[in-house]
Chains A and B, each alone.
Chain A
Amino acid sequence: MFKTILSAAIAGIEVIPVHVEADVSDGLPQFSMVGCLTHEVKEAQDRVLTSLRNIGLAMMPKHITINMSPADVPKSGSRFDLPIILGILAADGAIPADSLEGVMAVGELSLNGDLNPVTGILPVAIKAKEMKIRCLLVPRLNEWEGRAVGDLKVIGFSNIPEVLDFLRRGTIPLHSGREMPSPLLNRYEEDMSDIHGQESVKRAAEVAVAGFHNLLMVGPPGSGKTMLARRVPTILPPLTLEESLEISQIYSIAGLLSPEHPVMGTRPFRSPHHTLTPQALSGGGRIPSPGEITLSHRGILFLDEMPEFARRSLEILRQPLEDREIVIARASGSFRFPANFLLLAAMNPCPCGYYPDANQCHCTPREISNYMNRISQPLLDRIDLCVECPPVPYDDLTGNARKGSTSQEIRSRVAAVHEIQRKRFAGTKIHFNSEIPAGRMEEFCVMDPGAGKLLKNAFSKMRLSARAYHRVVKVARTIADLDGSPDIRGKHISEAICYRSIDKKYWRI
């Protein structure tokens, strides 16, 4: 007899509904599975048959065929164990034929019939809600993640007998439906005011976040670059529930959500080690899984010791920084991953870290220029702001320095600037000041005469490059927005020049 049950495959970050068809008939005992399956999926037959025997439902030897449709979509992972076992039992008549109507099932089997959690439940639940599924059956540990979507019946089961009870008699397990903690949005343990002193760095971070400008911090080891970077997510505008679900979907697929907190309440902060491979950064694999740039979506990607990263890894950032997404093409198709992140980078001024202190720095000019050359100019061109992160003096450590604004205060200033930009760029493809193309500079960045003159003088005096010009103006636009000024004034230009991005000749040796 033939029965079908709905499940879902994950390709990239997309969910594709999959019909799991089971046919159990007389004939030579055989178990065959078709439908573009990886070997993890095919291993299901051993888990299914063994667990059936272990829960006391040993079947007569039969000819079992499983097909997963659409058959041309690659399917991987252990999430199909549950639909396969339910399909077989239904086809064999062990559960009522109509009980699988409008039901979607996802889960991994253990040999004793227990259900183990799988990744990607949240996007599957979102898809199930879209498809108006009656009920989503998941492993017990995935239940909260599925219910995070809301308005969808999600039932968690700890083992197969519980599932059978539910399908035969409608018995919902006792542990299911427990009160779920409401997602704690925007609760950060860190706060900007934890950092004493370093006013210039904090200011640069505020400007960076307000206009979505990427930021490079230059400073010796131990000067608090990482400490500051960790706090930058706290000054980004508050996470909305929609954004939270969007981020959580990615983390769900990557298997990074915890069962207790199935929804990301904070903006991501990713700080990969510099041994990172290009594939780990962009997302990779035969069926690609999200890389670091996608895991930083709507948050911060922090590259500490940027010159130590492999050049091939760094160059990958160039396209996603422009397009805010990455498309990975594989034999199995091309996969689109969102990658709308703010890049924070940190580096030492020279290999030893003490330049320009000539008494401590013994690096030769050649060593310093080699160090700098590890970062390509096209990548530097995408970093609008650069700030020096000086070593923290004792007074600052002991709390005698100014405390500065709290994250809450900065966040509200940033949110106001984001609102200004939303209005300014309404009807265009631009979202933030950092994205203003050179051609529309005059339209969006109106300077008062004094500012224009100052900019002209500063450029000839400081011998800045032409490409630095646009970046200074864009940053000045953000600073003016923070100041609530419709026109860019001289002081905004001055501050933008103060934080101007580095170009290589800057290291004047």
Chain B
Amino acid sequence: MIKNGDTEGGADNTGGRMTNDSAGGMTDGMKMVCCGTAAYPGRLNIIPDKPETLYYIGALPEDIPTVGIVGARLCSHYGRTQAFEFGRALASRGIQVVSGMAIGIDCYAQEGALSAGGRTFSVLGSGADVCYPKSNYTAYREIIRHGGVMSEEKPGTPPLARNFPKRNRMISALSDILIVVEAREKSGSLITVDFALEQGKTVFAVPGRVGDSLSDGCNYLIAQGAGIAYSPEAVLFELESLKRTKNSEKSTGNSEPCENEDLPVKKRRTDLPPVRKSVRNPEADPGLSKEARCLYKFISRDPMTLDGLLAASGLEPSEAAPALLELMMSDYIEEIARHSYVKK
């Protein structure tokens, strides 16, 4: 599919190999599509300076409901689980997930989509045959098998910082809805949001706690009128209504792009899908010990230390350890760093 050594072997930071041929030597499995041809993704036409040539490995996204998921590279455990869950839930409903395969949120969202057996696509800032970062190599190979990676850069282009903001316009153009999972106040993800708004796309943000710096960007987007991604169903619901609007626009012949500069004022709505509740309740699990049920009460989505749990529950370390292992083995909780526990 791709030549040996073009990603694995790259020992340096750039992660890849320059092609010998400056005209764009093509690696195995690399395909190329030009603007104006039938294979060229129609959604990219929305971009004023759309790429003339698109290089890709695997497939290109189809014109079906597509969601872009972007966010911080250095994300929290909360961001990681949300990105994975949104990717998984949306992909399992046949929705394409587009992202940038960066470390952090991007990659977790795509891994989520892969875990559901869905289709997912990466728009890279390097050449399509250059896996960056290298640590995502496994995901890179999987994404090629279950979707594709694409780039407007020539094959072999190293991951140059200046190319990354540019690729964001393609992520938003390919998506119907853009979800921001975790973003600091000044985050690269907000560049993608700006492109999305220019292109008339709907933006959703996963809310976080006030005061969590990793959620500042998302909360600010919500304040500005972004949709609140409180569950994957909320996004699905919005996709449905987008489809209805599109159809009605088609039937009435009204093809004016919707005005997104000023987001509409939200009214209290009752037709939204309900907040998702955890279906697993260890309180009702007869297989769990008393200590395990007692400890579970003190574990939240915020990392809780072993010591904090001991202080809160009053259990002895020798009692708490078996209970914690029990909860971990039955997938109620997860140890995200040494003696840091969160609800799964």
The chain A residues found within 8 Å of chain B, CB to CB, are 197-201, 203-204, 218, 349, 355-359, 361-365, 386-388, 390, 393, 395-396, 401-402, 454, 457-458, 461-462, 479, 483, 490-491, 494-495, 497-499, 502, 506-508
In the complex, A199→B135 CA distance in Å?
37
In this complex, which of A218, A355, A358, A497 has the most chain B Cβ atoms within 10 angstroms of its Cβ?
Answer: A358
- Show 8 A/B contacts (Cβ-Cβ < 8 Å), sorted by A: A200-B320, A204-B317, A357-B303, A359-B213, A390-B308, A390-B339, A494-B325, A498-B321
B317 touches A491 (CB 8 A): no
A359 touches B76 (CB 8 A): yes
Contact A498:B77 (CB < 8 A) given known A200-B307, A201-B307, A388-B338:
no
- Give which listed residue, B311, B320, B339, contacts A387 with CB less than 8 A: B339
Query: B304-344 vs A: 1/0 string, CB under 8 Å?
Result: 01111011000011101110111011000000111110000
B340 touches A388 (CB 8 A): yes
A358 touches B76 (CB 8 A): yes
In the complex, A462→B334 CA distance in Å?
10
Distance in Å: Cβ of B116 to nearest Cβ of chain A: 21
Number of B positions contacting A (CB below 8 A)? 35
Distance in Å: Cβ of B97 to nearest Cβ of chain A: 22
The chain B residues found within 8 Å of chain A, CB to CB, are 73-79, 103, 135, 212-214, 303, 305-308, 310-311, 316-318, 320-322, 324-326, 328-329, 336-340
Distance in Å: Cβ of A207 to nearest Cβ of chain B: 9
In the complex, A28→B215 CA distance in Å?
93
In the complex, A495→B339 CA distance in Å?
12
- Give which listed residue, A396, A457, A491, A506, contacts B338 with CB less than 8 A: A506
Dominant SS among interface residues on chain A:
mixed
Q: Which residues of A contact B324 (CB under 8 A)?
A: 494, 498
B303 touches A356 (CB 8 A): yes
B338 touches A349 (CB 8 A): yes
B77 touches A356 (CB 8 A): yes
Contact A358:B74 (CB < 8 A) given known A365-B103, A387-B338:
yes
Q: Which residues of A contact B328 (CB under 8 A)?
A: 461-462
Q: Which residues of A contact B74 (CB under 8 A)?
A: 358, 361-365
Contact A356:B325 (CB < 8 A) given known A390-B307, A402-B311, A495-B318:
no
Contact A359:B214 (CB < 8 A) given known A387-B339, A462-B328:
yes
Q: Which residues of B contact A490 (CB under 8 A)?
A: 322
Q: Which residues of B contact A458 (CB under 8 A)?
A: 325, 329
Q: Which residues of B contact A197 (CB under 8 A)?
A: 307, 311
In the complex, A467→B221 CA distance in Å?
48
Q: Which residues of A contact B320 (CB under 8 A)?
A: 200, 498
B336 touches A508 (CB 8 A): yes
Q: Which residues of B contact A201 (CB under 8 A)?
A: 307
Distance in Å: Cβ of A347 to nearest Cβ of chain B: 11
A495 touches B307 (CB 8 A): no
CB nearest neighbor in B for A391: B305
B307 touches A479 (CB 8 A): no
CB nearest neighbor in B for A364: B74
In this complex, which of B78, B307, B308 has the most chain A Cβ atoms within 10 angstroms of its Cβ?
Answer: B307
In the complex, A355→B336 CA distance in Å?
10
Q: Which residues of A contact B303 (CB under 8 A)?
A: 356-357
Distance in Å: Cβ of B47 to nearest Cβ of chain A: 31
In this complex, which of A198, A201, A363, A495 has the most chain B Cβ atoms within 10 angstroms of its Cβ?
Answer: A495
Q: Which residues of B contact A454 (CB under 8 A)?
A: 325
Contact A491:B329 (CB < 8 A) given known A362-B74, A390-B305, A402-B311:
no
Distance in Å: Cβ of B165 to nearest Cβ of chain A: 19
A358 touches B310 (CB 8 A): no
In the complex, A498→B307 CA distance in Å?
12
In this complex, which of B73, B76, B103, B317 has the most chain A Cβ atoms within 10 angstroms of its Cβ?
Answer: B317
Q: 14 extra interchain contacts, Cβ-Cβ under 8 A, other than A388-B337, A490-B322?
A: A198-B307, A199-B307, A203-B316, A358-B77, A362-B74, A365-B135, A387-B339, A390-B339, A495-B322, A497-B325, A498-B320, A498-B325, A498-B339, A506-B338
A356 touches B337 (CB 8 A): yes
In the complex, A357→B212 CA distance in Å?
10
B75 touches A200 (CB 8 A): no
In the complex, A114→B100 CA distance in Å?
81
Distance in Å: Cβ of B15 to nearest Cβ of chain A: 12
CB nearest neighbor in A for B336: A356
CB nearest neighbor in B for A396: B311
CB nearest neighbor in B for A203: B317
Distance in Å: Cβ of B318 to nearest Cβ of chain A: 6
B306 touches A498 (CB 8 A): yes
In the complex, A396→B311 CA distance in Å?
9
Distance in Å: Cβ of B73 to nearest Cβ of chain A: 8
In the complex, A401→B310 CA distance in Å?
11
Contact A358:B75 (CB < 8 A) given known A197-B307, A388-B338, A390-B308:
yes
Distance in Å: Cβ of B328 to nearest Cβ of chain A: 7
A491 touches B322 (CB 8 A): yes
Q: Which residues of A contact B77 (CB under 8 A)?
A: 356, 358
Q: Which residues of B contact A393 (CB under 8 A)?
A: 308, 311
B307 touches A491 (CB 8 A): no
Distance in Å: Cβ of A447 to nearest Cβ of chain B: 15
- Give which listed residue, B76, B311, B321, contacts A495 with CB less than 8 A: B321
Q: Which residues of A contact B311 (CB under 8 A)?
A: 197, 199, 393, 395-396, 401-402
Distance in Å: Cβ of A496 to nearest Cβ of chain B: 8
Q: Sort A-B residue pairs by CB-CB distance and give the 6 closest, nearest first.
A: A358-B76, A388-B339, A494-B322, A203-B317, A498-B321, A495-B321
Q: Which residues of B contact A357 (CB under 8 A)?
A: 76, 303
Q: Which residues of A contact B338 (CB under 8 A)?
A: 218, 349, 386-388, 502, 506
B329 touches A461 (CB 8 A): yes
A200 touches B214 (CB 8 A): no
Distance in Å: Cβ of A217 to nearest Cβ of chain B: 10
In the complex, A171→B139 CA distance in Å?
89
Q: Which residues of A contact B73 (CB under 8 A)?
A: 364
B317 touches A495 (CB 8 A): yes
Q: Which residues of B contact A402 (CB under 8 A)?
A: 311
In this complex, which of B77, B79, B213, B318 has the most chain A Cβ atoms within 10 angstroms of its Cβ?
Answer: B318
In the complex, A246→B245 CA distance in Å?
87
Q: Which residues of B contact A361 (CB under 8 A)?
A: 74
In the complex, A365→B136 CA distance in Å?
12
B337 touches A491 (CB 8 A): no
A483 touches B318 (CB 8 A): yes
Q: Which residues of B contact A462 (CB under 8 A)?
A: 328
B337 touches A507 (CB 8 A): yes
In this complex, which of A361, A498, A499 has the most chain B Cβ atoms within 10 angstroms of its Cβ?
Answer: A498
In the complex, A474→B251 CA distance in Å?
74
Q: Which residues of B contact A483 (CB under 8 A)?
A: 318
In the complex, A461→B326 CA distance in Å?
11
Q: Which residues of B contact A349 (CB under 8 A)?
A: 337-338
